[in-house]
A and B are shown apart, each in its own frame.
Chain A
């Protein structure tokens, strides 16, 4: 039990690494940075492996409950100091623990986040070797690992939110790592601001949950949600779920908030691999999967998730078809695959969605790291129009990337085949085919995925060389620290899928079985009360293989090979100045796709306020300015008008007071009195002695008068 009881050490390790870099990083040598930062993540990974191992043993003995370890009370107290009234009128106590939580869902995230994180840290040693700010990079990366582990291991929504914001911050810092580049800082700002929109929704969702269910702790929320006191489709729960999904849309780059992720490729490539492909962007999937007990009670929210997921999948894939920047292709691919995951969650196949997260983490991280290796080999060239024929010059990179491509395209028996096929099957079969329309979208996306991935492979590795001459001399395979992680990830891209070998292929789907305790089956309405009763988690009925499932499997394999074939035909012999096939067939469509459906421009018109029509700003900012103008001219005009009128009246009153009252009456009387006083004043000298003299003279006069009379 040592590892389980000390689970808090896992996030603490990278936190210490980050703190060390923050305070002393500047003075440390590169090898010291490697020792502390990479070492922290390696130890965290080993620790996580033992923890999960111990958890599986512990769970068998404890009826597959989640493991909770509360370190201390963070907010609130046991005596009800932060009491409030819930929606149902009951008393609740706002209480947040700094607590850790481990169940199969977080165990999966824990393993691949630390595992892939470790490999990417090792890779970064080679990739960042010649970059400035070495310690800063690793400090941020460790801070990211800390935040991500907090997000995964938190036992309540608030702690999850803390990690959520932490990874957002690290994403911002790392996208803007090359802060002297204007485009990088712009991209960082864009990512941060777009994420704020999602986070606003998320935190409102948390408030709604706290208010409606009376707790933010996962175990308690799930307990209340599964206790059968809510109707299916309860409007407040639907609202809460939709708000949570807004947050997921921001973090996991779903339509309409996906725009930040492609721009996030301005960051160093290991960052794109770790944060913007494998781990952080799956936080939204984690959060929705974590809230599955609420989502199954809100079918409308589930439908929204599924539709947004499917739309994102095909939308991003269509843009990815024609992009020329190798990292941007992968970025749109990530958005598209995230759409798949949400599609799976939305149709109720939580385990399938999580499985795709798991396999995707390996092959997408591998693709990004491979792209980084290609860029490294070509001294910074990212444009696929200037690549080609690299297969023999950087063989390790080529082979591993090919494996990842086969995996993402969904070719048997690579990892992506199993997870994607499971999602397609669930989209076809869930709710007796209610989501079948989405299957067609997902299927078309699978075709596109295969096409754009093999387009990348052909343009980069197989087609005739279009590399510039001075670059061509310097092409070299990457150092060991970069290729070894590639090989390990390639191994997992090949074999990770076997964990979810489906029943229909005589497998046991251990992955889904492992997750069963987390996900409830769909909610059923009780006949007596009309309220939702959820089957207890873990009671999943055995799946029966179905002939349609085999057909779908063959169809999706067909799509993958069709995409491969199309890419080979279009780009197999792409020489200097080749033309995109879509451009040849339908130039307008190519323009639309090449310009990313003009979404950024549309947002400029609608929201950012950069566009003007004459003197008038457009969009939301324009509306704001119009409101301001209305306020300034109309409302304030009224106010000022009232003020002006009062002032005019006051001026008149002042004039009357000054000239008539004061002037004519008061001063006039005084003036008249003053004029009248002049004759009198002539004898009023004011000199006391004169008065005394007059007095004496008078007395003398009287005396003389009476003496001589």
Chain B
């Protein structure tokens, strides 16, 4: 059986949905950040898959996205550590300072 573009897209969509559900349902910020990584990687998979059809632009762009993901993870974890020092929690439910 030949692996077609559609297979990649299905895997990417599955990854995206798992990531989205992770972001929406999990309370631990670390896991939320991991879920965001899943979403980004789903997008990367899409870009790489489409580059099969439309040239290398998608692959190049996915490199940028990986860099961006790394930076995002660093910044996100930094904020998390700073926050943990103040409130001693990594639970997203308790991050509610903006609430009245």
Least distance between A688 CB and chain B CB atoms (Å): 6
**B100 is an interface residue with CB less than 8 A from chain A:** yes
Decide if A685 touches B24 in the complex (CB within 8 Å). Answer: no
**A432 is an interface residue with CB less than 8 A from chain B:** no
Decide if B98 touches A686 in the complex (CB within 8 Å). Answer: yes
Least distance between A694 CB and chain B CB atoms (Å): 10
**B2 is an interface residue with CB less than 8 A from chain A:** no
Chain A interface SS verdict (over half): helix
Complex CA–CA separation, A379 to B96 (angstroms): 102
Residues of A within 8 A of B96 (CB): 686-687
Complex CA–CA separation, A685 to B100 (angstroms): 8
Decide if B100 touches A692 in the complex (CB within 8 Å). Answer: no
- Given A687-B92, A689-B92, verify A696-B24 contact (CB < 8 Å): yes
Residues of A within 8 A of B93 (CB): 687
Decide if A693 touches B24 in the complex (CB within 8 Å). Answer: yes
Complex CA–CA separation, A685 to B96 (angstroms): 8
Least distance between A684 CB and chain B CB atoms (Å): 7
Complex CA–CA separation, A684 to B97 (angstroms): 12
Decide if A685 touches B23 in the complex (CB within 8 Å). Answer: no
Decide if A684 touches B99 in the complex (CB within 8 Å). Answer: yes
**A130 is an interface residue with CB less than 8 A from chain B:** no
Decide if B100 touches A688 in the complex (CB within 8 Å). Answer: no
Decide if A688 touches B95 in the complex (CB within 8 Å). Answer: yes
Residues of A within 8 A of B25 (CB): 689
Q: Mark B12-30, 1 if CB is under 8 A from A, else 0.
A: 0000000010011100000
Decide if B99 touches A689 in the complex (CB within 8 Å). Answer: no
Residue of A nearest to B100 (CB): A681
CB < 8 Å neighbour of A684 from B20, B24, B92, B100: B100
CB < 8 Å neighbour of B23 from A686, A687, A689: A689
Residue of B nearest to A686 (CB): B99
Interface residues of A in 665-690 (CB under 8 A from B): 677, 681, 684-689
Complex CA–CA separation, A684 to B95 (angstroms): 14
Complex CA–CA separation, A693 to B32 (angstroms): 13
Residues of B within 8 A of A689 (CB): 23-25, 32, 92
Interface residues of B in 1-60 (CB under 8 A from A): 20, 23-25, 32
Least distance between A219 CB and chain B CB atoms (Å): 88
Decide if A696 touches B100 in the complex (CB within 8 Å). Answer: no
How many chain A residues have a CB neighbour from B under 8 Å? 11
Least distance between B83 CB and chain A CB atoms (Å): 12
Residue of A nearest to B92 (CB): A689
Residue of A nearest to B93 (CB): A687
Decide if B92 touches A688 in the complex (CB within 8 Å). Answer: yes
Residues of A within 8 A of B98 (CB): 686
Least distance between B79 CB and chain A CB atoms (Å): 12
Residues of A within 8 A of B99 (CB): 684-687
Interface residues of A in 519-567 (CB under 8 A from B): none
Which residue, B32, B96, B100, has most C-beta atoms of chain A within 10 A?
B100
Interface residues of B in 56-80 (CB under 8 A from A): none
Complex CA–CA separation, A696 to B16 (angstroms): 12
Complex CA–CA separation, A688 to B26 (angstroms): 12
Residues of B within 8 A of A681 (CB): 100
Residue of A nearest to B21 (CB): A696
Least distance between B93 CB and chain A CB atoms (Å): 7
Residues of A within 8 A of B20 (CB): 696
Residues of B within 8 A of A686 (CB): 96-100
Residues of B within 8 A of A692 (CB): 23-24
Residue of A nearest to B32 (CB): A689
Residues of A within 8 A of B24 (CB): 689, 692-693, 696
Which residue, A681, A685, A688, A693, has most C-beta atoms of chain B within 10 A?
A688
Least distance between A81 CB and chain B CB atoms (Å): 68
Least distance between A383 CB and chain B CB atoms (Å): 94
Least distance between B3 CB and chain A CB atoms (Å): 27
Interface residues of A in 280-319 (CB under 8 A from B): none
Q: Mark A344-372, 1 if CB is under 8 A from B, else 0.
A: 00000000000000000000000000000
Residues of B within 8 A of A688 (CB): 92, 95
Residues of A within 8 A of B32 (CB): 689
Complex CA–CA separation, A459 to B23 (angstroms): 126
Complex CA–CA separation, A692 to B26 (angstroms): 12
Complex CA–CA separation, A687 to B25 (angstroms): 12
Least distance between A704 CB and chain B CB atoms (Å): 15
Residues of A within 8 A of B95 (CB): 688
Complex CA–CA separation, A294 to B26 (angstroms): 111
Residues of B within 8 A of A693 (CB): 24
Complex CA–CA separation, A686 to B95 (angstroms): 8
Least distance between B55 CB and chain A CB atoms (Å): 28
Least distance between A665 CB and chain B CB atoms (Å): 23
Residues of B within 8 A of A687 (CB): 92-93, 96, 99
Complex CA–CA separation, A692 to B98 (angstroms): 15
Complex CA–CA separation, A696 to B23 (angstroms): 11
Residues of B within 8 A of A685 (CB): 99
Complex CA–CA separation, A606 to B99 (angstroms): 82
Residues of B within 8 A of A696 (CB): 20, 24
Complex CA–CA separation, A637 to B32 (angstroms): 74
Complex CA–CA separation, A609 to B11 (angstroms): 111
Residue of A nearest to B95 (CB): A688
Residues of B within 8 A of A684 (CB): 99-100
Residues of A within 8 A of B23 (CB): 689, 692
Least distance between B18 CB and chain A CB atoms (Å): 13
Complex CA–CA separation, A696 to B97 (angstroms): 23
Complex CA–CA separation, A633 to B32 (angstroms): 77
Complex CA–CA separation, A681 to B98 (angstroms): 11
Residue of B nearest to A695 (CB): B24
Complex CA–CA separation, A686 to B100 (angstroms): 8
Complex CA–CA separation, A352 to B19 (angstroms): 128
Least distance between A489 CB and chain B CB atoms (Å): 99
Complex CA–CA separation, A689 to B91 (angstroms): 11
Least distance between A673 CB and chain B CB atoms (Å): 12
Residue of B nearest to A677 (CB): B100
Residue of A nearest to B27 (CB): A689
Least distance between A677 CB and chain B CB atoms (Å): 8
Complex CA–CA separation, A688 to B99 (angstroms): 10
Which residue, B24, B25, B32, has most C-beta atoms of chain A within 10 A?
B24
Residues of B within 8 A of A (CB): 20, 23-25, 32, 92-93, 95-100
- If A677-B100, A684-B100, A689-B23 are given as contacts, then 18 extra A-B residue pairs at C-beta distance below 8 Å, sorted by A number, are A681-B100, A684-B99, A685-B99, A686-B96, A686-B100, A687-B92, A687-B93, A687-B96, A687-B99, A688-B92, A688-B95, A689-B24, A689-B25, A689-B32, A689-B92, A692-B23, A696-B20, A696-B24
Give 5 nearest A-B pairs by CB, closest first.
A686-B99, A686-B98, A686-B96, A693-B24, A681-B100
**Could you show 6 A-B contacts with beta carbons less than 8 Å apart?**
A681-B100, A684-B99, A687-B99, A688-B95, A689-B23, A696-B20
Residues of A within 8 A of B (CB): 677, 681, 684-689, 692-693, 696
